[in-house]
Amino acid sequence: MTYSRNRYDQDFKKNAVRLSFNSSKPVKIIASELGVPESALYRWRKLYTEDGKQTPFASLEAENRALKRENAELALERDMFKKSRRLLCQSPEVTPSDKYAFMLRETSVSVVRWARLLDVSTSGYYAWRRALPKRNAKERQYRQRIKHFFDQGQGTYGPKRICGLLRKNGNKASYHRVARLMADAGLYSTLRCRHPKSLTDSRLARQGDYQNLVKHQSFKPFEALSSDITQTTTSEGKAYICQIRDLNSNLVLAHQISNHMDTDLVLATLKQAHQRWALPETCIFHSDRGSQYTAKAVTKLVNQYHWQRSFSALGKPGDNAWSESFFAIMKKELIYQIQFKDINDLRAQVFAYIETFYNRVRVQAR
């Protein structure tokens, strides 16, 4: 059975070009392994260099470039409003410090642009940023006090007890702040519950009535999708791989790699799958109950695609065995065999494994 891709996005083209330059195989063979026309791969090589940059051949006429710049400006303004929407909706409660912290995180847009949109001064932002070391020093002292009381209680004190001890010793303390800092440091009371904290069950999922729509079912191609996230490492640190598979064919429809295991990673993978493949409305999207998958943004996007949501039962990783098995296979055949230099090296190797081997050789041979 053959499967036609809806379209090839820019990331796919750049990765294909990089693979064709770095491989000792002829372009014709690389194109065949990727399942793309040889002429298309040669055309992409004219558009992108080995580093993924555009070549002079890809430059458009001056008028088109001007229109692109104008569209980019409009898109940037739109994205800025989207990113800051939650912050701006908090007015008048939102403080200048809240805005400065937001600007510090969102480095993809210049400080001047953010200052103009958020109605703050750039001088105020830089003054706030200069004072960060002092505030961070106080934060470190606060964390040390929390750790001191936690160790004093031999790991049995929870946020409520430590919050009381901090206040008793003359420190301002809020329960939510103490709980957040303890969680960040991995400090959990041994008396909090009898069982370890689940890593794939968000509090939102425990409150929701989520059903498993794929259990003991068989599906036609693209009727049901499975997704999961796994952690691996490079020489620079941790990295996370998110993938989406078709339950009928076991094809990996999309994958994304990031330094952070967050909602944005899942959203990027969902958008990639929807863009690359002609997926029908009403198909089922199955995952575990991790906070990345139960997030409102993910639910909103899945609803926008008119897909149905399905979740594994609590404490039942076998309910998502399709994704678990893929990661087990890829780790054995690729991840554990290579020491990746950085996340870009990981991206290149995983792309080649999925697109030239797993989807086209391993899956089709089943």
C-alpha distances (whole Å) from 231 to each of 5, 11, 217, 251, 328 are: 27, 22, 29, 20, 12
How confident is residue 228, by pLDDT bands cut at 50, 70 and 90?
very high
**Tens digit of pLDDT for each residue in 275-312?**
999 899 889 999 888 889 999 999 999 999 999 998 88
Pairing of β 237-246 and β 252-258: antiparallel
pLDDT, tens digit (0-9, with 9 covering 90-100), for 33-61: 898 999 888 888 887 777 777 666 655 54
Residues 126-158 pLDDT 10s: 888 888 888 778 778 888 888 888 887 767 678
Q: What is the pTM of this model?
A: 0.54
* Homologous superfamily of 206-362: Ribonuclease H-like superfamily/Ribonuclease H (3.30.420.10)
Give 216's DSSP letter. Answer: T
Of the listed ranges 8-22, 71-85, 144-158, 222-236, the least confidently predicted one is 71-85
Does the pLDDT value for residue 65 go beyond 90? no
Residue 91: pLDDT band by 50, 70, 90 thresholds? low
Task: Compute the C-alpha angle 80/82/259, nearest 5°.
Answer: 80
DSSP letters for 312-349: PPTT-GGGGHHHHHHHHHHHHHTGGG---SSHHHHHHH
Cβ-proximal residues to 197 (8 Å cutoff; 6+ apart), any chain: 188
Q: Which residue has the higher pLDDT, 348 or 313?
A: 348
